[in-house]
Amino acid sequence: MSSWSEERRRNLAAEAEQRRKNKDADAERSRKEREAEDKRRRDERRKDRDEARAEKAQRRREKAQRRQARAAKREKTLTPGNVYKRGTLLLVALSALASLPAQVLHFVAIHWMLFPIGPAVEGAAWVMAAGTAYADERKLSPWVRWLLRVLSLSAAAFAANINYQYGLSLTEHGVSESNARVAGLGLAAVTLGGPLFFEVRQWVLTLSASTADPKKQAEQKARAKHEKQRRKVFKDIVARQEQLMLAAPYGTLKSEDAFARAWWDVEGAPLGVTANVIADRLDAEADVSAVLAEAERTPERVAVELLLADIFGPEGGDGGSSGTSTATPSGGPRGGTPEGRTALGGKGKRPVRSTADTEASKPLAEADLEAVRKLAAALGGVHRLSARNVREAVGCRNEYALRLRDAVRAEKPEENK
């Protein structure tokens, strides 16, 4: 019996311990849930505060942007140009409102059926003024613009005269004569001044548009001057250019490309080059070649060559074992010409004949002369021969080319002019 009671007590104690643990677990779980809920609420409140601050900052930025936009718009609207353009339109509108009732009353006083005449006369002045502005915008012929101006001012002058007469007629309604005259002059002034103000506004806008980009305007003037000068100097080439532009499909050939092709067709050479330019260049090259060939034979060089020839003897001579010359030099300071003498070919050895001396003493071959004659015919005359083109045609050295050129030129002296 005692064992059962003991077992029962132990079971009750275990159940009580288990209930306590469960209660503690529930309490811990409830505590954690409360903490999690509190944290979630804190996060939500923090998030709400952040969103509220962001929205407030965004509203401040939008407000600042709107303020800046209004300031920029106000600054743009109140520029002198906009004030002038809008102010002129306002002045024109006031002029029309002041002059039109007098027109209507004047003609209605005559007969009620004449009511449309007043708006028609006043409207004619404004329609012609608008036509002048449209003609300026479309850059029509000057006579069209001036015709519209004359028509506009004529209608305005007629309306101004009617308004002046109406102002004088106010004396019939008890207005003093001086006041009636002032009223007539005022009506005439606003009637004529409205179209005049609008016309002056149009002139100012046209002139300001033409001077809006001075650099572009200067470029257009320079381009027009260049085109005019080109047509004056190169008439045949410009005519050929226009022919090419007309022959090609529209828009496929550029003007400058057509001019370059026309230059080649007329002058037979690249752009900017003519037959006279080629001839002058060839003559200049020939002169330079001659000067360079002559410059190779300075007095000092001739003296050195003669000295070396005296010491070592000329090439092919029989100076013997002593190496002295057995012949007297035939050039330089001793009375001859320096042909056939050159500097040493090596270090302290004896002088040798250069290729230039060989070319100078070489007889002119008939085949080479014939080649140079054909070259002269192809170039258009012997006066266009130069050492360079002869050298390139024959394939020889400069001295031989000079001799060939001079020989062919000597055959036709009348073409050397």
pLDDT tens, position by position, 100-136: 888 888 888 888 888 888 888 888 888 888 888 888 7
Cα angle 137, 231, 238; round to 5: 105
Predicted pLDDT of residue 295: 64
Give Rg (Cα) of the chain.
Answer: 54
The encoded tokens of residue 90 equal 């306002």
C-alpha neighbours within 13 Å on the C-beta side of residue 232 = 6
Helix (H) or strand (E) holding 392: helix 387-394
pLDDT in tens, the chain (417 residues): 567 778 878 888 888 888 888 888 888 888 888 888 888 888 888 988 899 999 999 999 998 888 888 878 777 766 666 777 777 778 778 887 888 888 888 888 888 888 888 888 888 888 888 888 888 778 788 888 888 888 888 888 888 888 888 888 888 777 888 888 888 888 888 888 888 888 887 777 777 766 656 777 778 888 889 999 999 999 999 999 999 999 989 888 898 999 999 999 998 888 888 888 888 888 788 877 777 766 666 565 666 666 666 666 544 444 333 333 333 333 333 333 333 333 333 334 344 444 445 555 678 888 888 888 888 887 778 888 887 788 878 878 778 888 888 888 888 877 765
Across the chain, how many H-helices and E-strands are there? 14, 0
- Helices of type H across 169-233: 177-210, 214-233
- β-partners of residue 344 are 351
**Residues 247 and 229 sit within 8 Å (Cβ to Cβ):** no
Predicted pLDDT of residue 239: 92
Helix (H) or strand (E) holding 49: helix 2-77
Q: Give backbone dihedrals phi and psi of 351, rounded to 5 degrees, phi first.
A: -70, 150
Which runs of E-coded beta strand occur in 241-327?
A: none
Name the amino acid, one letter, at 74. R
The encoded tokens of residue 176 equal 């003093």
**Residues 188 and 164 sit within 8 Å (Cβ to Cβ):** yes
The encoded tokens of residue 193 equal 């001044």
**Residues 372 and 404 sit within 8 Å (Cβ to Cβ):** yes
| C-alpha 231 chain-centroid distance | 22
> Among residues 86, 79, 106, which one has the least CA distance to residue 172?
106
**Residues 94 and 87 sit within 8 Å (Cβ to Cβ):** no
What count of other Cβ atoms lies within 10 Å of the Cβ of residue 180?
A: 19
b/e string for 385-401 if b means 16 or more Cβ within 10 A? bbbbbbbebbebbbbbb
